[in-house]
Amino acid sequence: MKHFFTTRVKVVLVTALLLAVVLTVVGSLTGTSLPDLFVKGVLTPIRSGISQLTDQAEQMYNYMFEYESLLTENQKLKEQLAQIEDEARRADSIARENDRLRALLGLLETNEDYKLVDGYIISRSSVDWTSTFTVNRGANAGIRAGMCAITANGELVGLVSEVGSNYAVIKTVLDSSLEISATIASSGYNGMVQGGYSTGLDGLLRMDYLPSAAVIRNHDQVVTTGSTVYPRNLILGRVVDAGFDDTGVAKFALLEPAADFGTLEQVFIVTEYDAG
């Protein structure tokens, strides 16, 4: 029995006794009963903690609900923005097509003998000295190899080199293998135009065999002279530079192509015309 009250038990008893004394004294001074003191001293902090946990849980719920709402709203906004951008692209495409059609009407008014088939570019290729692209119209639309392609503004684009039932490959004027008889419109000087790839002049055309006495000015317009392949007065480009060739006997001119190959979307194949 002498070991019944261990040190730990003694501490607990003393602590309880002191707590009872403190509660009794406080109760007598404040007029509050022991149970009330117990509730206020022990349960009140617990209640406060539970209240804080409840508030935090409510805040977390509101945050999660608001986060999900924001995600949903964000997705809807993205979809609306994508739809607006798509409609804007369509509107721009329609506007460009309308511009081309208006220009084409003007071209046909001055060239009533032209019969044209339109085609949209579906692929491009530029390797070594060649420059070609493929359009989505072919033999089924009356296109044959050897027909020329132009823009709605009457600018020469190139020559059909290959035809399938529903596609056609067009070799552009930038291709070094094409030689086109041409004239400087303002002066009437004649020469041959070829793509500049073979001479390292990527993106330019070179007009050779011009007379040594020819007066060549920058911005002079160069057009086709007309043949069984190319109608007359198709626009090839404008002069940006000139000089004497290696022989020193004839002159050459460098041309910037009239057709903008970087933004070209649609071309028109001349299937018939009066070669006169």
3-state secondary structure 208-247: EEECCCCCCCCCCEEEECCCCCCCCCCEEEEEEEEEECCC
Number of Cβ atoms within 10 Å of the Cβ of 253: 27
pLDDT class of 21 with cuts at 50, 70, 90 = low
Average pLDDT over every residue of 156-173: 96
User: In 8-25, which positions are buried (b, 16+ CB within 10 angstroms) versus exposed (e)?
Assistant: eeeeeeeeeeeeeeebee
Q: What is the mean pLDDT of the chain?
A: 82
Query: How far apart are the two ends of the chain, measured CA to CA in Å?
Result: 138
Contact between residue 158 and residue 173 where contact means Cβ atoms under 8 Å apart: yes
Number of Cβ atoms within 10 Å of the Cβ of 183: 21
Rounded Cα distance, 129 and 143, in Å? 25
Q: Where are the domains of the chain?
A: 115-272
For position 1, what pLDDT does the model report? Answer: 46
**CATH code, 115-272:** 2.40.10.340
